Structure 1
Amino acid sequence: MSSWNMQIARLFAEHKKALEAFVARRIGNAQVAADLTQESFLRLARLPGDKKIDNLPAFLFTIASNLVRDHQRQMIRRERLDGGEPSDDLPCHAPGAEEQLSAQQEHALMHDAIQALPEATRHIFLLYHVDECSYREIAERLNVSPRSVEYQLRRALIDCRAFIKARLLSGASEPRG
C-alpha cells in the first residue's frame, strides 16, 4: 500500500464519524450524509499522491462542505423543476379504490331509494334537492301549497331513510350491474 493510500486509510479511521456527523447536521439526512462522506474520501483519494496538503483533515472537511453546498443547490433546483421529492408525510387527496367503490354503492343505494318514492313525492324531492327550488317555487310550479311541499319533502326523507335501512339490513346493498 502506498504512503498516500495509508494516509487516506488513517484519515478515514480517525475522522469518518466526525465528518459524517458534520455533514448530517448540515443536510439533516443520515443516508445522504453517509453518501457525501464517502464521496469526500473518494475525492481526496483521487488526488495525486505527490500533491502537498498541509492539513489533510481540514482539506477533507472543505471537500465535504463543498459537496454539501452542491447537494443543497441541486435540491433547490430539483424543487424548482418538479416541486421537490415526494413526501410520505403528505397524504394523497384522491380517493382510493375502496372509497370510490363505497361512494358508488352509496350513490346507487340513494338512487334506488329516490326511485322507490311515489312519483309526485319524487318530483318534489328532485325539484328541491337537484334543481334547488324553494318551497314557494315548487308550490307555484305544481299548484300546491308550500305547506304541502314541506310535508312531501319530509315524507320523502322518511321514506328514503326507511328504504336504505331496510336494504342495508337485508344485505342487498350490492352495486347494480
Structure 2
Amino acid sequence: MSADRKDIFKSRFQEHYSRLCCIAYGYVSDQDDAEDIVQELFISVWNKRLDGMPEKEFAAYMTTSVRNSCVSFLRKRRDDTVSIDAYPASASCMPDEGPEEGKPLQDIMESAPDTLPARCREVFLLAKLHGLKYREIAEKLEVSEKTVENQMTKAVKLLRMYVAEHGALLVTVAVIILSIIINCE
C-alpha cells in the first residue's frame, strides 16, 4: 500500500467528510446515523479502491452514493417498523393471561429475550436494560458499532416473530415501542 494512496484518501476524506455528513443529516435527521453512513461509504471507497478517481468524478460519486445510502437506510428503518394493524384483534389477550393456555403475560414478556441467540441477547440487554449506547456496547464487547446495530436489528426481528407466535397484544406494543426507541437512537 503506497503512502501516496493514503495521503490522497486522507485529503479527500478531510475535504468531503463534513459536506457529506450534512447531506446525510438532511435525509436521516440524526447526526450519529449520518456520520455512520458517511464513514461506511468512505470504507467502501477505500476497499473498492475508488479513491483514485479524478476529483470532479469523486465528488459526484460520493454525493450520489451518500444519497443512495441514506435512502437505503431509511427504507431499512421503515421496513423494521411494524404496524399495530398487522395483528388481528383476535390475537390479543387479556392483560392477566397470555394465549398459551392461561400463561401469564409477565412470563411471556420475561421469556422473550431468552429466545434470542446469546450474542444477540447480550447486545439487546446491554442496550435496553442497562441503557448503553451502541458505541459503548461495541467497546465493551470489542466489536464494531455496525455489529451492534446488526445484532439489535436481529433481536427486534426475532422478538417480533416470538410475539407473533404468542399473539400477546401487550408484548406486541412493547416490541413496537422498543423498535421506535431503537430507530430513534
> TM-score category by the smaller chain?
0.3 to 0.5
Give the TM-score of the pair, scaled to structure 2: 0.41
TM-score (norm 1): 0.43
